[in-house]
Chains A and B, each alone.
With several copies, the nearest count.
Chain A
Amino acid sequence: MSLDKPYTNIPGTTIFDADMARIGYHLNQFCMSLMKAENRERFKADERAYLNEWPMTEEQKLAVLDRDYNRMMDQGGNIYFLAKIFSSDGLSFQHAAATMTGMSQEEYAQMMLNGGRSPQGNRYLGEEKGK
C-alpha cells in the first residue's frame, strides 16, 4: 500500500481514509440525500426503489436495507454519513452504536452508565481478549 496506515491494528475500529472513502462514495452520498425531507419520504415509501437510483453495489444496498451498520462500514460507509439513515428512522446514535457491538440497546446503555467500554484490552488487536 502506498498510504501509510498505522491504525489498522486497533480492534473493532474502521478509520475512514481515502481507500474507504472511494469504496463508500455513493453509499455516503446516498446518506447525504436523506437530509431533505422529500427524499426521506421517497426512501421510506420504497427503500429498494430509492436505493436503485444510486450507483451503489448490491452488497451496500442490502446492508442498508438490513440496517447492518458494520456491513455498511466495511463497504466504505462513514458513521457521520450513516447517521442520516438512523436519524431518518427516528433512532438515536446510541441505538445504532449498540447494534454494532452485538449488544442489546439495554445492555449497551447499561455499559455506558457503568462508565463505558474500558480501553483495557481494546487498544491493540491480539490483546483483545485481555478484558
Chain B
Amino acid sequence: MAKITAGVATSHVPAIGAAIDLGKTQEPYWAPLFEGYEFAKQWIAEEKPDVILLVYNDHASAFSMDFVPTFAIGCAEKFEPADEGWGPRPVPTVEGHPRLASHLAQSVIQQDFDLTIVNKMDVDHGLTVPLSLMFGQPDAWPCKVIPIAVNVVLFPPPSGRRCYELGKALRKAVDSFDEDLNVQIWGTGGMSHQLQGPRAGLINQEFDKEFLEKIVNNPEELSRKPHIDYVREAGSEGIELVMWLIMRGALNPEVIEKKRFYHVPASNTAVGHLVLENKE
C-alpha cells in the first residue's frame, strides 16, 4: 500500500532558485541559508521517496485571471518549468504520477473537496525551487511529483482549516492506493513576507517562530488562525503559509521533528523549513 512517510515544509523564494541556477550558493549572503538545508538533502537521499505531493501556489504563471481554481491537482505525465519573464529555470522537466494523482482526485472529491483537475500546466518557482533546495541540480528529478496548487493570489484563499482538512483527506486517499509507494507531502511558501506597497519587507520573526512551533506540536489550534491574522501579522504574501497546513494535515497527529530551520533574509522573505516524520 502507498503510505505518507514524511512531510517537508519550505519557503520557495524565487531568489533562492536564482542563487542555485547562477552558482551563488557559497556566497556569504546565501551560504547560511543553504547550510540549513544540508540535513534535509542527506535525509532525502536516504529516504528515497517515490512520489512527492507538492503543495504550492501558482504565482500567476499557469493560471491567469481567466481561471482561478481554489485547489487544483496536476494529473499529467509531465510538467515543464514555466517562463516567468526571464526564461524557464534550467531545471529538469517534472514527471507526474497520473494514476496516483487521479486516484487522489477521485478520492478527495468524494470526500467533498471540490478539486479542479488539470492535465496541462507549466510549473513555476513555487514548485521548482523546493525541488532544487532538496535535490540540488540533478539531470532528472529522482522521483515523481504531483502538483497540488492552492489559490493564494485572488482573495479569498481557502481557510487554514480547509487546508488542514484537505491534508487529512489526501492522507486517506493515499492510504487507499494499492501500490507500494513511499509518498512524501511538501508544504511550500512563506514564511512572513510582503512583496508589495509601502509596507514591503515586513518580517515578523515572533509570528514565524510561533508558527513553526505550532505546526509541529499544535496544528489543530493553528488551523483555526483566520486569514486576516496572516495578512496583518505576516505580510500580504505571508498567507502562503496556509499551504503548510495541507502538509501537516496529511501527517499523524504526532510527528517526529527531524529538522527545524529559520533564516532571515532571503531577498524579501523570511525562510522557514521543517522535516517531519510520521511516527510508526
Residues B153 and A11 in contact, CB atoms below 8 Å apart: no
Contact of A40 among B59, B85, B207, B235 (CB under 8 A): B85
Binds A, one of B127-135, B138-146, B212-220, B264-272: B264-272
A104 at interface by CB-CB < 8 Å: no
User: Which residues of chain B in 99-138 are interfacial with respect to chain A, using CB atoms and an 8 Å cutoff?
Assistant: 99-100, 102-103, 105-106, 119
Contact B268 A10 (CB under 8 A): no
- Closest-by-CB residue of B relative to A82 is B196
Assess whether A11 is in contact with B198, with CB atoms less than 8 Å apart: yes
- Taking CB atoms, residues of chain B closer than 8 Å to A3 are 102-103, 106
B231 within 8 A of A: yes
Task: Tell whether, in the assembled complex, residue A119 and residue B196 are in contact, meaning their CB atoms are under 8 Å apart.
Answer: no
The listed residue (A10, A108, A119) touching B204 by CB distance below 8 A is A119
Residues of B within 8 A of A100 (CB): 196-198, 200
Let me know if B47 is at the binding interface, CB within 8 A. Answer: no
B-chain residues with CB within 8 Å of residue A92 when the two chains form the complex: 15, 18, 267
The B contact surface, by secondary structure, is loop
Q: Is the CB of B199 within 8 A of A122?
A: yes
Nearest B-chain residue to A33, judged by Cβ: B64
Q: A15-B236, A28-B60, A101-B200 are in contact. Are A35 and B231 (CB under 8 A)?
A: no
Rounded to whole Å, the gap between the CB of A124 and the closest CB of chain B is: 8
Tell me whether A13 and B153 are in contact in the complex, defined as CB-CB below 8 angstroms, given that A2-B177, A87-B84, A94-B268 are known contacts: no
Which residues 30-66 of A sit at the B interface, judged by CB distance below 8 A? 31-32, 34-37, 40
Instruction: Among A2, A37, A94, A122, point to the contact of B87 (Cβ < 8 A).
Output: A37
Distance between B96 CB and nearest chain A CB, rounded to angstroms: 11
**B1-41 Cβ-contact flags toward A at 8 Å (1 or 0):** 00000000000001100100000000000000000000000
Tell me which residues across on chain A come within 8 A of B82, comparing CB atoms.
35
B178 interface residue (CB < 8 Å to A)? yes
User: Which residues of B, 44-88, contact A by the 8 Å Cβ criterion?
Assistant: 59-61, 64-66, 75, 82-87
In Å, the complex CA distance between A2 and B14 comes to 36
Contact A116 B201 (CB under 8 A): yes
Q: Which of A68-91 contact B (CB under 8 A)?
A: 69-70, 73, 78-81, 83-88, 90
| 5 tightest A-B CB contacts, nearest first | A116-B203, A87-B85, A12-B199, A18-B102, A12-B198
14 inter-chain pairs at a CB distance below 8 angstroms, sorted by A residue, are A4-B106, A13-B231, A17-B106, A17-B154, A35-B83, A79-B195, A80-B59, A81-B60, A87-B84, A97-B195, A112-B267, A116-B192, A119-B204, A123-B232
A22-B98, A35-B83, A80-B59 given. 12 additional CB < 8 A pairs?
A: A3-B103, A12-B200, A15-B155, A19-B102, A21-B102, A29-B66, A31-B60, A70-B197, A79-B195, A90-B86, A97-B196, A116-B265
The chain B residues found within 8 Å of chain A, CB to CB, are 14-15, 18, 59-61, 64-66, 75, 82-87, 98-100, 102-103, 105-106, 119, 153-156, 176-179, 192, 194-207, 228, 231-233, 235-237, 264-265, 267-268, 270
